[in-house]
Amino acid sequence: MARFRPLIGITTQSLHAIDGIPAGLPPSVVMNQRYYSAVTELGAIPVLIPLLHDDLVTLRALFDRLDGVLLPGGVDLEPSTYGEIPHARLGRTDPARDIVELQLARWSVEMRKPLLGLCRGLQVLNVAMGGTLWQDLETQQPDTIKHDCFPTYGFERDHLAHDVDLVEGSRLRRAVGQARMPVNSMHHQGIRTLGDGLRPSAVAPDGIVEGIEWHEDAFIVGVQWHPEVFDSADPHARPLFEEFVAAAAQ
């Protein structure tokens, strides 16, 4: 456990962006508790960030008090955020969350504040730095392997779908301590062009970039998989979260 308990901000999502939520409920924000449990178990103090998309002054005041930012998984980004029109297989979107997370990612890079992006969070970081996405890998890149191993398709969330090769010299490879590792996979979108200042740190067998990091000396990292699914002692999760919490504590 970290000697100094850093304050980690974890973004939320609109309740109504989730499939199956009935109309008529008051506006609400939610987030899977596994994200804040993952950092709490390593000594951090989690803070859930409301969707202050229409009050960036308050959002900045909150950001300034944080020691690190965690961008969780979730629904698709609005294609307009990277200059495209919606594809036929674009899923649910959450425009308020897009505004908040893209802004937090840019501030984190600007201030060199530790940031960890998971699944959608990797995609947010990439778009924040000027990158683009494939809106649907199956139809836009049909030669890719299966990446959409969702529970709705009968897969467990901890199903190890494929390996990734960890790029030599990357922060991610140093943290994990190995050149290759199996990962779970619950996404139908992926990086198309890499954002400015980002470099790949993990690559799937089909060439899809599944790990990115900012090239400067700061913990700005994104991975396409979901390490929060695993127990905190699991080698698929602990090294990454340990590095993140330690960077925030410093």
Name the residues annotated as catalytic: 119, 226, 228
Burial of 4 (0-12, 13-18, 19+ CB in 10 A): exposed
Categorise residue 69: left if φ over 0, alpha if ψ from -120 to 50, beta otherwise: beta
Are 119 and 187 spatial neighbours (Cβ–Cβ below 8 Å)? yes
As a whole number of angstroms, the distance between CA 22 and CA 4 comes to 42
- Number of C-alpha atoms within 13 angstroms, CB side, residue 201? 27
Pairing of strands 29-30, 13-14: antiparallel
Are 32 and 72 spatial neighbours (Cβ–Cβ below 8 Å)? yes
